[in-house]
Amino acid sequence: MSKSSEAVAACRRQIEAQLDKVRSLNASEAPIDAVSSEVAALQTLSAQLGELSLSKKGGQKGKITLKTPKGTRDWEPLSMSLRKHVFSTIERVFSTHGAVTIDTPVFELKEILAGKYGEDSKLIYDLQDQGGELCSLRYDLTVPFARFVAMNPTEYGNIKRYHIAKVYRRDQPAMTKGRFREFYQCDFDIAGTYDAMVPDAECLCVLVETLDALDIGAFTIKLNHRKLLDAIFAVCGVPDDKIRTISSAVDKLDKSPWDEVKHEMVAEKGLPADVADRIGTYVLQRGSRELIAKLREDAALMQNNKAVEGLADMELLFQYLDVYGVVDRVSFDLSLARGLDYYTGVIYEAITALSAPPTKEGAPAQRKTKDNGELDESTVGVGSIAAGGRYDHLVGMFCGAKRPDAVPCVGVSIGVERVFSILLQRLQEAQARGERTSVRQKEVDVYVMSMGDGLLLERMQVCKMLWDAGIKAEFLYKKKPKLQQQFAVVDKEQIPLAVLLAPGEWANGTVRVKQQLGKDEAGDDKGTEVPLTELATFVQSKLSPSS
Amino acid sequence: MSKSSEAVAACRRQIEAQLDKVRSLNASEAPIDAVSSEVAALQTLSAQLGELSLSKKGGQKGKITLKTPKGTRDWEPLSMSLRKHVFSTIERVFSTHGAVTIDTPVFELKEILAGKYGEDSKLIYDLQDQGGELCSLRYDLTVPFARFVAMNPTEYGNIKRYHIAKVYRRDQPAMTKGRFREFYQCDFDIAGTYDAMVPDAECLCVLVETLDALDIGAFTIKLNHRKLLDAIFAVCGVPDDKIRTISSAVDKLDKSPWDEVKHEMVAEKGLPADVADRIGTYVLQRGSRELIAKLREDAALMQNNKAVEGLADMELLFQYLDVYGVVDRVSFDLSLARGLDYYTGVIYEAITALSAPPTKEGAPAQRKTKDNGELDESTVGVGSIAAGGRYDHLVGMFCGAKRPDAVPCVGVSIGVERVFSILLQRLQEAQARGERTSVRQKEVDVYVMSMGDGLLLERMQVCKMLWDAGIKAEFLYKKKPKLQQQFAVVDKEQIPLAVLLAPGEWANGTVRVKQQLGKDEAGDDKGTEVPLTELATFVQSKLSPSS
């Protein structure tokens, strides 16, 4: 028996012993902690067995699969430049509104996330139990924010904060549409007790300003109110325990026609057909401020307190949106329901033309799954590009039963990956047309070159002089580089200025500065001879936009 | 039996059945994949049992522990402002050198990280096996970078990139010293085949420029070469298979005196005492360029090819560092060894006065563990604040056996959490002395206030006007706020300008702008009356540094 076979056999024996241990603990109804820590030990053994068996196979190098995990991607330099542009635009708007930023860990204690996401809890990534606390990767930024506020109620019970960070969901990815398992969220939230709808209106104002600043093209913000929606369901005769599931069905009206949604309510969720029909008379309505007046004429609806409260909120909200000049950017849409459980007031969602699935012969394509179980991305839209709403009880869930609305909150989350996929496509199209774009992969301004004899130490000296002046500069890391090879870099990287070192000029204390872009400028063919002592100033003047 | 007790019993029965299944697979030597997927199923059952038992306990709300996982922390607004300042300083230096940035996922396939970290592999966080690929949280940014380069050799086989992102280590934390389980790394690396030591010298130049720009006070960069060190060990008589472990012992010379290190080599690692003594004659030497000449006089050492190569590299490196004007910032220190396996050439580490443990009666305090097993942080230094070196074979490990040095690399990693803990302490001390610091928690420039009668819509209108002009402005989210309450915010947040709305002036189309800071300015007691149409321009002129 070979050494590695022996090791495998030994490991299998250890597994067997460990199985016995778990069995006896389980049979004797030992405390759960004891059982689960022994199961964890078993898992470790199983992992060891896996590694032994890999090394037994010969341990050949180069057999590793070179890929990122499913649903994740690398961000190469051009994408990163665009991402930085997108984030700084968003941060500028958020901080103009006085928001501060916080950060929380990528993983939270598992119990913090438990019971917050309804059916979607199955999409949470757990960390392996390696001894110590049980943790999960964050699913969104809202629950960690609520946990943060609940932990620091005195200092941060009133806070306007933004948070731009990655979140994790074990969902079916659609990579080309900006749907990943690891993705960024950009959240802006206002926590604290204030007069009705004032922070809510500002969130919508921030949303409009952000999407305008990102220049993603036309968009609409759908607007609704959870209290109003719940009142409609109650008035139509939906039993209390079915409200959330019927609400989910209604939320599909952006992707599916009414007939299908009704079928789901009646056939799958057991709602009487006449109740579904009554729901239909409400949720197919949309409009603007005038819809408030229309609903107020509905005597049955106005018997319901929640409807009265919801409509009062909407009335105020429209008044404030009018002052902010953004009323024409929103649509009061009774079909908007939003999936998450924790919303308690106004809800909203921004969509663009790309939000819907591509249409075939006029009708939206049904989302399809390919033979291998993967999504067919050509049948998927990018979905909403931003969403949010009021959630008055989430912080309270962390504060104990006595304080359910300890810190009311309202916020908006920008679906930045979807925004990004729209902008990247546009950038790549512009580059394919040969246009010079403001977002570049690399931002070097000066390339320091040798015209002969290497001059390595001299090139280093010139670069250091430029770096110290804050000028972005590079040189080729060769002792004796060819002139052609150096110019090839300048062309490929679109570097605007070349500084040329020649032995004769160097001896006189001068170098030559040559403008590479806009070569047709008169008299710039051979560049300008500049004393070394004046180089940084000269280069800065050439690079400043006014020159 | 209650409903929940029944559920627990049922779950225990399922676990028993699953144990049988694993046992029979294991006994029949079934394929590892089959065993491990059934062990994963067992883990899921064990987790279910845990949850059932929690809900059995009554599932009281408010019983959740409000904390972040061990070794992690929240970043509150002031810390975030400082962090943004630190990152933008570092990014400015890195991009001045022409570096682009990339990003990789927070988790990698487990096999990508396997075999890269030696003993420290036990500190890697694994994700739970929830079906699909086995993944681990990244331990550093270097291995994911090497994986990225190996995946994209044509496009990124030559790349100067930086990466600022979080990494994860299940280590004993020392929170006040900037040692966390989740922490940021700021890496700058140059990949590609170039002339010797040119990129290496630039990494050291970047390190000096970065630490200078961060203004962390005096620092020293220790410098050594793996080839030289390996040659020294060989010449002293260390067997090949003990070189890495003896190297680790030598690396402790910054914390422990030679006697202790020698004891570890001889008593714990079985090295003959005379071999250890010979090592001592080398590794206790440090100096600058002159040490190269001194070592070249050592005939025994110069018989070793690696020593000759290492010293040639050091000679070139000192020449280049001289051109960059940073020779006086480095110390050629033969005791520097660095823990990681993958270094192949020059290695370096930056330290400050705070790097060493606090001293007691002149001697460094021994690192202590408290009764509860936690580190006693008062006995711990912040450690090195930056480190790096050349690693020529790491990309090759992903490219198969034929190309061990496919893409040679050199880089430096800034220990930004340690830098941060130094800067935060300084900032807090300055604030405690009442100094106005450039890093503020919140950056609002204008507070829009009502002098009477609420004027909510009017305040909204003025704010929107300022936001649209890019001016950071806020107002109190109350319909009828008290004047005192509004001024309290201005004082607390140190907001420089107040815009006051009064019913009379508003009717005339004017508002009053009052400078809050520097109140002693003559004539500014009542502020300046400004037409609404000129407000944004007026505010901008007040805020611009020249006014």
> What is the model's pLDDT at position A132?
87
Is residue B114 scored above 70 in pLDDT? yes
Place of tokens 């008062």: B378
Chain B residues within an 8 Å CB radius of A190? 477
Kindly state the percentage of chain B with pLDDT values over 70.
Answer: 89
Mean pLDDT of A305-334: 97
> What is the model's pLDDT at position A54?
54
> What is the model's pLDDT at position B301?
96
Sign of CA dihedral A415, A421, A424, A426: negative
CA dist A160 and A140 (Å) reads 18
The reply to whether B319 touches chain A by the CB within 8 Å rule is yes
How would you write A247-264 as a 3-class SS string?
A: HHHHHHHHCCCHHHHHHH
Task: Choose the closest CB to B151 out of A33, A36, A66.
Answer: A66
Q: What is the least distance, in Å, from the CA of B540 to any CA of chain A?
A: 13
Kindly state the percentage of chain A with pLDDT values over 70.
Answer: 89
Is residue B54 scored above 60 in pLDDT? no
Which of B486 and A381 is assigned the larger pLDDT? B486
Confidence class of residue A103 from pLDDT cuts 50, 70 and 90?
very high
Mean pLDDT of B79-93: 95
Q: Give the pairing of strands B100-101 and A368-369.
A: unpaired
> What is the model's pLDDT at position A53?
61
Is residue B373 scored above 70 in pLDDT? no
Confidence class of residue B90 from pLDDT cuts 50, 70 and 90?
very high
Least confident of A142-146, A260-264, B35-39: B35-39
The reply to whether B379 touches chain A by the CB within 8 Å rule is no
Chain A's closest residue to B111, CA to CA, is: A64
**What are the CA-CA distances from residue A474 to residues A66, A260, A441, A498 (Å)?**
31, 61, 15, 10
ipTM score of the complex?
0.84
> What is the model's pLDDT at position A145?
97
- What three-state secondary structure class fits A474? strand
A201-260 pLDDT, tens digit each? 999 999 999 999 999 989 999 999 999 999 999 999 999 989 888 998 998 888 889 999
Which of B330 and A121 is assigned the larger pLDDT? B330
Q: Which of B168, B161, B182, B208 is nearest to B385 (CA)?
A: B208
Which residue ranges of A make up the annotated binding site for L-histidine? 140-142, 169, 185, 189, 338, 342-343
Among residues 187-206 of chain A, which lie with CB inside 8 Å of chain B?
A: 190, 192, 194-195, 198-199, 201-202, 205
Which of A518 and A207 is assigned the larger pLDDT? A207
A77-98 pLDDT, tens digit each? 999 999 999 999 999 999 999 9
Task: Choose the closest CB to A32 out of B50, B398, B473.
Answer: B50
Region at A134 (left for phi over 0; alpha for psi -120 to 50; beta for the rest): beta
Mean pLDDT of B307-332: 97
Is residue A522 scored above 60 in pLDDT? no
How distant is the alpha carbon of residue A413 from its chain centre? 9
The reply to whether B102 touches chain A by the CB within 8 Å rule is yes
Task: Choose the closest CB to B77 out of A65, A102, A137.
Answer: A102
Mean pLDDT of B479-491: 93
Among residues 475-494 of chain B, which lie with CB inside 8 Å of chain A?
A: 477-479
Q: What is the least distance, in Å, from the CA of A397 to any CA of chain B?
A: 7
> What is the model's pLDDT at position A224?
97
**How many beta carbons lie within 10 A of that of residue A262, not counting itself?**
18
The reply to whether A61 touches chain B by the CB within 8 Å rule is yes
User: Is B169 annotated for ligand binding?
Assistant: yes
Number of H helices, E strands in chain A: 20, 20
Chain A residues within an 8 Å CB radius of B15? 22, 26, 35
Confidence class of residue B153 from pLDDT cuts 50, 70 and 90?
very high
Is residue B180 scored above 50 in pLDDT? yes
Q: Which of A289, A265, A269 is nearest to A279 (CA)?
A: A265
Buried b (16+ CB within 10 A) or exposed e, B192-222: bebebbbbbbbbbbbbbbbbeebebeebbbb
> What is the model's pLDDT at position B2?
59
Is residue A536 scored above 50 in pLDDT? yes
The reply to whether B40 touches chain A by the CB within 8 Å rule is yes
Q: What is the least distance, in Å, from the CA of A258 to any CA of chain B?
A: 36
Q: Where are the alpha helices (DSSP H) in B184-257?
A: 198-214, 226-236, 243-250
Is residue A16 scored above 90 in pLDDT? no
Task: Choose the closest CB to B150 out of A50, A66, A479.
Answer: A66
Q: Quote the crossing angle between the two packed helices A77-96 and A416-432, to the nearest 10°.
A: 130
- The rounded mean pLDDT for chain A is 88
What count of CB pairs under 8 Å joins A to B? 318
A39-59 pLDDT, tens digit each? 777 777 776 676 666 554 444
Which of B24 and A519 is assigned the larger pLDDT? B24
> What is the model's pLDDT at position B113?
93
The reply to whether B75 touches chain A by the CB within 8 Å rule is yes
Please give the helix or strand (H or E) that residue B37 lies within, else none: helix B32-56
The reply to whether A96 touches chain B by the CB within 8 Å rule is yes
The reply to whether B30 touches chain A by the CB within 8 Å rule is no
- The rounded mean pLDDT for chain B is 88
Residue B420 tokens read as: 């941060």
Is residue B547 scored above 50 in pLDDT? no
End-to-end CA, chain B = 79
Chain A residues within an 8 Å CB radius of B19? 19, 22-23, 26
The reply to whether B125 touches chain A by the CB within 8 Å rule is yes
Which of A4 and B70 is assigned the larger pLDDT? B70
The reply to whether A109 touches chain B by the CB within 8 Å rule is yes
Q: What is the least distance, in Å, from the CA of B210 to any CA of chain A?
A: 11
Confidence class of residue B62 from pLDDT cuts 50, 70 and 90?
very low
Q: Quote the crossing angle between the two packed helices B305-323 and A456-468, to the nearest 10°.
A: 50
The reply to whether A27 touches chain B by the CB within 8 Å rule is yes
Mean pLDDT of A434-462: 89
Is residue B334 scored above 90 in pLDDT? yes
> What is the model's pLDDT at position A520?
44
The reply to whether A456 touches chain B by the CB within 8 Å rule is yes
Confidence class of residue A360 from pLDDT cuts 50, 70 and 90?
low
> What is the model's pLDDT at position A17?
82
Q: Which of A12, A44, A52, A66 to mutate to test the interface with B (most CBs of B within 10 A)?
A: A66
Q: What is the least distance, in Å, from the CA of A129 to any CA of chain B?
A: 7
The reply to whether A112 touches chain B by the CB within 8 Å rule is yes
Chain B's closest residue to A161, CA to CA, is: B77
Chain B residues within an 8 Å CB radius of A397? 61
Chain A's closest residue to B199, CA to CA, is: A477
Least confident of A50-54, A331-335, B40-44, B470-474: A50-54
One-letter amino acid of B143: V
The reply to whether A150 touches chain B by the CB within 8 Å rule is yes
Chain A residues within an 8 Å CB radius of B128? 125-129
The reply to whether A97 touches chain B by the CB within 8 Å rule is yes
> What is the model's pLDDT at position B523?
46
Is residue A62 scored above 60 in pLDDT? no
One-letter amino acid of B174: A
